[in-house]
Amino acid sequence: MGDVAASGGYYIATPADRIFAEPTTITGSIGVFGMIPYTGKMLENKLGITFDRVQT
């Protein structure tokens, strides 16, 4: 890896057995997401539970 290996650069290197980077290479993580059923209105209306969304 060169100067920067952000999500895309790191992702394309994942099939390799080893990944080599310079000590000064800036690396990033591979994005992750999950899917959760939306039951907010039911929980809010029946139980008074509300949610805040966090996104990175």
Q: Answer whether 27's CB lies under 8 Å from 11's CB.
A: no
Instruction: Kindly state the average pLDDT of the residues 25-45.
Output: 73
Instruction: Assign 33 a pLDDT band (cuts: 50, 70, 90).
Output: low
Cα–Cα distance for residue pair 37/40, rounded to 1 Å: 9
Phi, psi of 24 (to 5 degrees): -100, 5
Length of the chain: 56
- The residues spanned by each domain of the chain are 4-47
Tell me the pTM.
Answer: 0.40
Question: Counting runs of H as helices and runs of E as strands, what totals does the chain give?
Answer: 2, 2
